[in-house]
Amino acid sequence: MKKKDLSYSINWSKKSLNTRVIHVGGEPDQATGAIMPPIFQTSTYVQKSPGIHSGYEYTRTHNPTRTRLEECLASAENGKYATVTASGLSATMLIMHALPANSTILVGDDVYGGTYRIFNTIFNSLHKFIFVNTTDQKILKQELKKYQPALLWIETPTNPLLKITDLEFAITEAKKYNALVLVDNTFMSPYFQNPLKFGADIILHSMTKYINGHSDVVGGALIVNDQKIHKELFRLQNSIGPCASPFDSWLVLRGIKTLAVRMQRHQENAIKIANFLEKNKKVERVIYPGLESHPQHSVAKKQMSGFGGMITFFLRGGIKESRKFLESVQIFSLAESLGGVESLIEHPAIMTHASIPEKVRTKLGISNNLIRLSVGIEDCDDLISDLKNAFKNCQ
């Protein structure tokens, strides 16, 4: 968009993320001065003369509201370009089409269930996927050398086991073979982790989660520094069509303004709850990157500026006890997804990860007594008393 009178004359890249998520892409409306930008709810744009327009022709290609969000997201990840898509998975789809056919892709073995499904049931006819434990440096090094993949796909922390991959190590190794590196940064959000800093080429977000933060939008984003990659993603987005709607883009622009305060509170609550669970006799084990008991706690401290709001724990017992527990909570809502202001609880083996074959789930450690919490920003004492009641109920 052209710079006009009400444009800011501030160099935002020098400002903190807390400030950037509020102001980048959030300039007042040029025409009216409205501090909240309007929603350009339009599919097409009138031209003065054939081919003479203000940079916008058709909303699948471009939309001013989406452009604003793309500016904001690029800035949030300290990147140059962002592409906003209709969902996280459609962002994944664009990446799959951006690679030459028959590419070899090395993928973390504990990725989001939908990522696993799209690779194994949709794009397995186009590319070759090798699943590997990216948190094991020896194995990762070996497999990179063996397969010399076109792309290394890392999700860190993973879902639901919150395994952490050392980004500096993984990216350095991948670069020895000129592999592109994509990091799915959905769980940490740009507030706690910025993988471009470690040399990642592409950041993927499901905006559905922390970026929007209000459980009212499904959306995705890809952030890159390389103009060539960005142009290719733009071409694919326009040619295939999974663009986010103007209204959804606007909602995310609204949601992301509070990213910093939300993430702070998510983490504050999660630390208290993780400690509470770790002391509870009915809990076998708690996984939270902020706990010293987490196997990669030191890697987490090194590459993240915080530990996020996701907690996984193993309840003593099996499917029966887990079911009872999940039915007993009242403030935590039993639902898939994560990253919203409200606390959610779920059972990966039955819910989010049901599309992963049981044998694979067991091998990964997604057992029937594993429960995942997306800790919201409610009052923490209320959340803890809700969990206490549920524990009482499953006696």
Site stretch for ligand PLP (CB under 6 A), options 85-93, 241-249, 309-317, 342-350: 85-93
209 is catalytic: yes
Report the run of H or E that residue 104 belongs to, with start and end.
Answer: strand 104-108
Q: Which residues from 243-282 bind ligand PLP, rule CB under 6 A? A: none
Q: Pick the catalytic residue: 184, 201, 210, 361?
A: 184
Q: How far is the CB of 309 from ligand PLP (least distance, A)?
A: 12
Q: How far is the CB of 205 from ligand PLP (least distance, A)?
A: 8
262 is catalytic: no
Whole-angstrom Cα distance, residue 249 to residue 255?
Answer: 10
- Of 88, 157, 195, 246, the one binding ligand PLP (CB under 6 A) is 88
Closer residue to ligand PLP, CB minimum distance, 37 or 254:
254
Whole-angstrom Cα distance, residue 235 to residue 60?
Answer: 11
179, 152 contact by CB (below 8 A): yes
Residue 374 touching ligand PLP (CB under 6 A) = no
122, 152 contact by CB (below 8 A): no
72, 12 contact by CB (below 8 A): no
Closer residue to ligand PLP, CB minimum distance, 87 or 312:
87
Q: Which residues from 193-222 bind ligand PLP, rule CB under 6 A? A: 206, 208-209, 218, 220
Three-class DSSP category at 129: strand
The per-residue DSSP string of 43-102 comes to SB---SBTTB-SS-SBTTT--HHHHHHHHHHHHHTT-SEEEEESSHHHHHHHHHHHSPTT
User: What token pair was written down for 243?
Assistant: 């663009």
Among 293, 292, 288, which Cα is nearest to 274's?
288
- Of 115, 194, 237, 343, the one binding ligand PLP (CB under 6 A) is 115
Residue in the structure block whose two tokens are 């029966």: 320
- Of 67, 75, 87, 165, the one binding ligand PLP (CB under 6 A) is 87
Residue 69 touching ligand PLP (CB under 6 A) = no
Question: 214: number of CA atoms within 13 Å, CB side?
Answer: 14
User: What token pair was written down for 123?
Assistant: 């794009």
Q: How far is CA 343 from CA 3, 367, 380, in A?
A: 41, 22, 10
Site stretch for ligand PLP (CB under 6 A), options 81-89, 121-129, 244-252, 372-380: 81-89
Site stretch for ligand PLP (CB under 6 A), options 15-23, 61-69, 86-94, 126-134: 86-94
Q: Is the peptide bond before 28 cis (omega within 30 degrees of 0)?
A: no
Whole-angstrom Cα distance, residue 89 to residue 99?
Answer: 16
Closer residue to ligand PLP, CB minimum distance, 62 or 209:
209
Q: Pick the catalytic residue: 56, 81, 112, 116?
A: 112
184 is catalytic: yes
Among 69, 68, 64, which Cα is nearest to 41's?
64
Q: Strand 220-224 relative to strand 202-206: parallel, antiparallel, unpaired?
A: antiparallel
Residue 114 touching ligand PLP (CB under 6 A) = yes
Report the run of H or E that residue 315 belongs to, with start and end.
Answer: strand 310-315
Name the residue number minimizing CB distance to ligand PLP. 88
Q: Which residues from 117-156 bind ligand PLP, rule CB under 6 A? A: 155
- Of 40, 81, 112, 192, the one binding ligand PLP (CB under 6 A) is 112
Closer residue to ligand PLP, CB minimum distance, 56 or 165:
165
Q: Pick the catalytic residue: 209, 262, 361, 372?
A: 209
Three-class DSSP category at 15: coil
Closer residue to ligand PLP, CB minimum distance, 116 or 332:
116
Whole-angstrom Cα distance, residue 371 to residue 348?
Answer: 7
Site stretch for ligand PLP (CB under 6 A), options 18-26, 87-95, 225-233, 246-254: 87-95
Q: How many residues bind ligand PLP (CB under 6 A)?
A: 16
210 is catalytic: no
- Of 134, 159, 194, 369, the one binding ligand PLP (CB under 6 A) is 159
Q: How far is the CB of 157 from ligand PLP (least distance, A)?
A: 9
Longest dimension (CA), the chain: 74
Give the residue numbers marked as catalytic: 60, 112, 184, 209
Name the site residues for ligand PLP (rule: CB under 6 A).
87-89, 112, 114-115, 155, 159, 184, 186-187, 206, 208-209, 218, 220
